[in-house]
Amino acid sequence: MYTLTARSLLEDVFTSVNVKRTLERNPESPAALHPYVVGRCGVATVADIDAAVDAAVSAAPEWAATPLSTRMRLGPMFRAKLQERREEFLSMLMAEAHPRMLAEWELSCLEQVYSDESCDWYRQQMSTEFDHGPRRLIVRRCPDGVVCINPPQNAPAPSAALAVLVLMAGNTVVVRAPRSIALSTMYVLRELVAPLLRELGAPPGALNVVCGKPQQTLERWLGHPGVNDILYFGGSEEGLRFERECVARGKKPILELAGNDGLVVWRDADLRLAAEAIAECFYGSGQICMVPNYVLAHPAIADELLALVRAEVGNVRPGYPEDYGVLLSPVRRSEKFFRLLNQALQEGAELVCGGRRIELDGTPSETGVFLEPTVVRVNGLREARCLDVVQHETFFPLIPFVVAEPASDELLLERTIGFLNDNIYGLRNSLWTTSADVTDRFVTRVHNGGLLKVNDSHIGFLPYLPSHGGTGLTGGAFGEANYPILKTSHLQGVSISRGVRPRTAVFGD
């Protein structure tokens, strides 16, 4: 499979498509030398997929026996390597249609996940010791074994890079690079992670990466007796089916599915900053699970906030991925966007801005490959969940702005918290307020989701806190904040005693 630079689709669609089709028919064609071609990757056979798992199985005992202190070095080493090869990493993402600003945001995620603060915290969680009389007690986490990772097409490399945490836990890993967009995943794992493992003395087979057909690869993993865990990224409906299949076959499912994040703006919020946070919903054309998906606005400030959001939308523009300031990505299939928008409008929502296809320069066009950032206003909490744009993740640059019915602040607060907790998804939620009491009520009572942020970027990453994970349709039956180093390991208690008489230990003196 060949990767063509995303710029080619914006510069010369005809040539780009022609080169792609030619190479699909004949991978050895001279078209492989076209300057639009930036990478290639062999597609794995069934035998290759099985061989990768077999290699991971063979390496698992030795890597699990490697001291935790050695394995934990991998995180800081990887972060340093990312910073050293920063421009290469960003160029790989831009080649796959990630605007530079979005690629930098994705890099910031990995820098926080592997920061010194986060790695120190992981180390504490992985093993803690206590003195208890004549005993040394240890509470530790042991690796699950062989972990397979199926990253998503919208962010394959940053998701595949979570394999480093899985390795730090003492597991061996098999990663499937998405067949249609393998370049950045292969780069991160082959060029950055693999040399670090060799430097640490990891056995061959500790890390494996194949570029395979998704369904075929997942079936081989499910059927292989050596696979322990499968980290699956995808839509909620298919993900929950996959969860049931994993459990039936004795595998641990770790799910990263759709998000439908709520962002609440209270009457006393800093509205300019809140508007900036709301505009994060348009990053990458909304095709990111952890951006805000709906706004709940206090009726007292709704009109003013909407005006500020409209102004922020003016800063969100399309362009070539390499151009700084570009935030929108091309959207190849937009039929669902218009279906969701039309349904909302027919059910009484009001179009605030957007709603059209646009060209590279922002000009409205029926054939544009970008979508305008789109805001719709929905009046009333009671009926809002009846709209698909509120009830479910849209995965487009489309955000509903829900304005609650006028009521006392106490009643509005109750209804807003209830609305967030009733969300059938649960990735992130955020709140904007200057009230300590309102903040305390949210922190105490909002239990839905893996992350709650107050007066902060909705999508920003921080040390210690999870980058992924959530409840409900986001994380499945076992959903919670996802720290891959913890989710791919299990607790074990150990007692080491000296001079303890067994009968006394059981019955006392």
Confidence of residue 340 (pLDDT cuts 50, 70, 90): very high
Side chain identity, residue 47: A
Tokens representing 232 are 């699956």
Is domain 261-464 in CATH 3.40.309.10, yes or no?
yes
Dihedral angle sign, alpha carbons of residues 368, 260, 322, 28: negative
| The CATH number, out of the four listed (2.40.30.20, 3.40.50.2020, 3.40.50.300, 3.40.605.10), of the domain defined by the range 41-257+481-491 | 3.40.605.10
CA-CA distance, 132 to 122, in Å (whole number)?
Answer: 24
CA 294 to centroid of chain Cα atoms? 18
CA-CA distance, 207 to 254, in Å (whole number)?
Answer: 19
CA-CA distance, 344 to 338, in Å (whole number)?
Answer: 10
Angle, alpha carbons 246-217-63 (nearest 5°): 75
Tokens representing 454 are 């107050």
- pLDDT for the residue numbered 451: 97
Tokens representing 434 are 């200057």
Confidence of residue 196 (pLDDT cuts 50, 70, 90): very high
Helices 74-84 & 116-126, crossing angle to 10 degrees?
160
CB atoms within 10 A of CB 229: 25
- pLDDT for the residue numbered 342: 96
Query: Which residues does residue 177 pair with via DSSP β-bridges, in sequence order?
Result: 211
Confidence of residue 9 (pLDDT cuts 50, 70, 90): confident
Residue 464 CB partners (closer than 8 Å, separation 6+):
117, 118, 121
- pLDDT for the residue numbered 471: 96
Residues in the chain: 509
Q: Are 480 and 469 in contact (CB under 8 A)?
A: yes
Q: Are 191 and 207 in contact (CB under 8 A)?
A: no
CA-CA distance, 28 to 11, in Å (whole number)?
Answer: 25
Q: What is the pLDDT of residues 100-119, one digit of tens each?
A: 999 999 999 999 999 999 99
CA-CA distance, 304 to 298, in Å (whole number)?
Answer: 11
E strands within 144-199? 146-150, 172-177
- pLDDT for the residue numbered 483: 96
Q: Of all residues in the chain, what percent carry a pLDDT higher than 70? A: 100
Task: Please check the confidence at residue 383 and state whether its pLDDT lies above 90.
Answer: no
* 242-to-150, 218, 233, 502 alpha-carbon distances in Å: 12, 9, 10, 47
CA-wise closest residue to 357 among 366, 349, 348: 366
- pLDDT for the residue numbered 110: 97
Report residue 294: phi and psi, to 5°. -155, 155
Q: What is the pLDDT of residues 31-77, one digit of tens each?
A: 999 999 998 999 999 999 999 999 999 999 999 999 999 999 999 99
What SS3 state is found at 475? coil
Averaged pLDDT for residues 203-231: 97
Task: Please check the confidence at residue 453 and state whether its pLDDT lies above 80.
Answer: yes
For the chain, give every domain's residue range.
Answer: 1-40, 41-257+481-491, 261-464
Average pLDDT, whole number, for the chain? 95
The lowest-confidence range among 58-62, 176-180, 220-224, 268-272 is 176-180
The lowest-confidence range among 337-346, 363-372, 496-505 is 496-505
- pLDDT for the residue numbered 503: 80
Report residue 296: phi and psi, to 5°. -110, 110
Predicted TM-score (pTM) of the model is 0.95
Q: Are 450 and 281 in contact (CB under 8 A)?
A: no
* 381-to-53, 269, 407 alpha-carbon distances in Å: 49, 20, 12
Confidence of residue 333 (pLDDT cuts 50, 70, 90): confident
Helices 74-84 & 86-95, crossing angle to 10 degrees?
70
Averaged pLDDT for residues 261-274: 98
Averaged pLDDT for residues 281-294: 95
Tokens representing 176 are 């499937």
Q: What is the pLDDT of residues 388-443, one digit of tens each?
A: 999 999 999 999 999 999 999 999 999 999 999 999 999 999 999 999 999 999 99
Task: Please check the confidence at residue 505 and state whether its pLDDT lies above 90.
Answer: no
